[in-house]
Copies of this chain bind each other. A is one copy, B any other.
Amino acid sequence: MYSIGQLSKATGVKVPTIRYYEQVGVLASAGRTDGNQRRYDQDGVERLGFIKHARDLGFSIEAITALIDLQQHPDRSCADASAIAKHQLADVQEKLRRLSALEAELIRISDGCDGDGVSGQCYVLASLADHKHCRTDH
């Protein structure tokens, strides 16, 4: 049996975050001692490990809740799991596209100013003031 602090150390998830996960329902409520403190078993460690790993990969709490639900029913179709993963991938790829465009503009903007001028002539400020300086949409 683990206390919440021991679970925290075992998984790398902070104590208040564990309580938050319980509050929003992605982590099942733990058993309690007579004094009302949470106690976790190995199952709890694995459940929280799953949540942490999925969060690290960018899945939303809502998506993770659905995935854990699926995991509790090993005989159900995994179509939803597949869809959630593909959706998450598409999401990440969209963010990558947007960030790449931003990176290109920011490199141009950064390169245009050494910081040794005066703000009236600053390329950073001029570029932000007018999108026409930009090479891409964004």
Contact = CB atoms under 8 A, between A and B. Distances in A.
B76 A138 contact: no
B129 A110 contact: no
Contacts of A54: 128
Task: Work out how many copies of this chain go into the complex.
Answer: 2
A119 B73 contact: yes
Interface of A: 46, 49-50, 53-54, 56-59, 67, 70-71, 73-86, 88-89, 92-93, 95-96, 99-100, 102-103, 105-107, 109-110, 113-122, 124-125, 128-131, 138
Interface secondary structure of A, over-half rule: helix
B50 A129 contact: yes
B78 A124 contact: yes
A4 B71 CA distance: 51
Contacts of A102: 57-58, 92
30 contacts: A50-B129, A53-B128, A53-B129, A53-B130, A53-B131, A54-B128, A56-B138, A57-B105, A57-B138, A70-B125, A74-B118, A74-B119, A76-B119, A77-B116, A77-B117, A78-B124, A79-B115, A80-B115, A81-B119, A81-B124, A82-B114, A82-B124, A85-B106, A85-B124, A89-B103, A92-B102, A95-B99, A96-B96, A96-B99, A96-B100
